[in-house]
Structure 1
Amino acid sequence: MRRGIKWSKLYLAAVFIILYAPIFYLMFYSFNSGGSMREFESFTLEWYGEVFSDTRLLIIVLNTLVIALLSSLISTILGIIGALAIRQVRRLQSKQTLLSLNNVLIVSPDVIIGASFLILFTMIGLQLGFSSVLISHIAFSVPIVVLMVLPKLEEMSPTLIDAARDLGASRWEVLTKVTLPFIKPGIFAGFFMALTYSLDDFAVTFFVTGNGFSTLSVEIYSRARHGVSLSINALSTLLFLFTALLVVGYYFINRRTNNKPSNAEVGP
């Protein structure tokens, strides 16, 4: 038993090393004054200063944040509605069909999704840019929110809703004062997952973005094609740290929410 546990820990450590070693290698050389990733000469913040002095890049950062926040907010609302609708389905076969259709966008390759949206926007005459990127990000974020919210809905006992209705609560009051507070951890999880996916997405955005509009992932790819510059390392490091902060923030919010006793547990 001990030997099995030891090997499992070594395997887990090896996986994390393989995953994070390239990221830390990139971050390490973002502080290199030598201008290359071959030899570290001395510590410098020159490349970070170059990133923050680039006006065009700052606009792209703003575009990325606006797209991520808007798409996450809208997809969270739509995901909650979708999860509530799926839970109301009584037939098991119909519910499984809806869940399968919901999961298609998650398991489908991003290249196919991006190409499909590109064809759709071209057919309807929608100009590629802010709107096309926003719609695409909402589309692939909604299924993620549904998967985060639906398990919390399934955990909720129907007696809570019945008790609220017996006390004279309307449908809106049941939704806002019973259902939504109960599934709040799932809502936070869906929002932060959608936000992270939107910030990191490249393949779909690459297809649906237009001239004059870009996001950080597309900009990093474009700059990397023109040659290795340590400003790309600095930009990638900042993006990685921001994403890590989102994950840590979600962890503490979720932990605090789970540890907080509900009204039903507190009692009168």
Structure 2
Amino acid sequence: MNKTLKWSNIYLVVVFAILYAPIVYLMVYSFNSGGTMHSFEGFTLEWYSEVFSDTRLLIIVLNTFVIALLSAAISTILGVIGALAIRHVRRRHSRNALMSFNNVLIVSPDVIIGASFLILFTMIGIRLGFTSVLLSHIAFSVPIVVLMVLPKLQEMSPSLIDAARDLGASSFDVLTKVVLPFIKPGIFAGFFMALTYSLDDFAVTFFVTGNGFSTLSVEIYSRARQGVSLSINALSTLLFLFTIVLVIGYYFINRRNSRPAAKEGGR
């Protein structure tokens, strides 16, 4: 038993080492004064100061976060509504069909999704830029929110809703005071997942972005094609650290929300 546990631990260490070694390598050389990724000559913050002194890059960062926050907020609202609608479908076959349609955007390749949105926006006359990127991010984030919220709805006992209605609660009161508080962990999970997906997306954004508007992922790709620059390392490091902060924030929020539920379950 101990031997098996030891080998499983070694396996996990090796897997995580392979996954994180390139990221660590990128982060270390973002402090290299030599200007290359071949030999580390000394510690410097020059590449970070170059990132923060680039006005165009700061505007792109602002665009990225505005798109991510707006798409996450709107997709969370739409995803919660969609999950509630799917939950209230009585027929099992209809519910499964709706879930299958919901999962299409998740399992479809990003290239196909991006090309489809590009054709759609061109046909209906939407100019490629802020609006097209926002609509695309909302579209592929909504199914993710539905998948995060729906399990919490399935965990909720129908007796809670029946009890609230027996006590005279209106439909709005049932929704706001019973259902939404119960599924709040799923809502937070969906919001943070949508936010992370929006920040990291490249393939879909590459198709639907236009001249004069860009996001961090597209900008990093464009700069990487022009040649190796350690400012790309610095920019990528900052983006990775921000993602880590989001994950840690979600962990603590989820942990704080799970404590009251555990206490109620213990009673």
Is TM (by shorter chain) over 0.5?
yes
Q: Which amino acid aligns with 2:209?
A: T
What count of residue pairs does the alignment treat as equivalent?
Answer: 267
Does the residue aligned with 1:212 lie in a helix, a strand or coil?
coil
What's the counterpart of residue 14 of structure 2? 14
**Structure 1 CA distance for aligned equivalents of residues 14 and 266 of structure 2:** 45
CA drift at 1:97:
1.1
**Structure 2 CA distance for aligned equivalents of residues 262 and 130 of structure 1:** 43
Q: Which amino acid aligns with 2:133?
A: V
**Structure 1 CA distance for aligned equivalents of residues 265 and 6 of structure 2:** 40
**Structure 2 CA distance for aligned equivalents of residues 185 and 8 of structure 1:** 31
Q: Which amino acid aligns with 2:188?
A: F
CA deviation map 1:26-52 (0-9, x unaligned): 000000000000000000000000000
What's the counterpart of residue 149 of structure 1? 149
What's the counterpart of residue 62 of structure 1? 62
**Structure 2 CA distance for aligned equivalents of residues 4 and 67 of structure 1:** 47
**Structure 2 CA distance for aligned equivalents of residues 132 and 21 of structure 1:** 35
What's the counterpart of residue 174 of structure 2? 174
**Structure 2 CA distance for aligned equivalents of residues 131 and 241 of structure 1:** 28
**Structure 2 CA distance for aligned equivalents of residues 63 and 177 of structure 1:** 35
- In the alignment, does 2:221 pair up with 1:221? yes
**Structure 2 CA distance for aligned equivalents of residues 2 and 33 of structure 1:** 46
CA deviation map 1:124-174 (0-9, x unaligned): 111000000000000000000000000000000000000000011000000
What's the counterpart of residue 24 of structure 2? 24
- In the alignment, does 2:193 pair up with 1:187? no
Change (3 A) 1:263 1:166: farther
CA drift at 1:264:
6.5
- In the alignment, does 2:196 pair up with 1:205? no
CA drift at 1:266:
9.8
Q: Which amino acid aligns with 2:171?
A: R
After TM superposition, the structure 1 stretch with the greater mean CA deviation from structure 2, 7-16 or 238-247, is: 7-16
- In the alignment, does 2:51 pair up with 1:51? yes
What's the counterpart of residue 133 of structure 1? 133
What's the counterpart of residue 95 of structure 2? 95
**Structure 2 CA distance for aligned equivalents of residues 107 and 266 of structure 1:** 39
CA drift at 1:250:
0.2
Gap runs ≥5 in structure 1: none
> Percent identity at matched positions?
80
**Structure 1 CA distance for aligned equivalents of residues 123 and 176 of structure 2:** 40
CA drift at 1:260:
2.1
What's the counterpart of residue 196 of structure 2? 196
- In the alignment, does 2:90 pair up with 1:86? no
**Structure 1 CA distance for aligned equivalents of residues 9 and 121 of structure 2:** 48
After TM superposition, the structure 1 stretch with the greater mean CA deviation from structure 2, 254-263 or 63-72, is: 254-263
**Structure 1 CA distance for aligned equivalents of residues 165 and 25 of structure 2:** 58
What's the counterpart of residue 116 of structure 1? 116
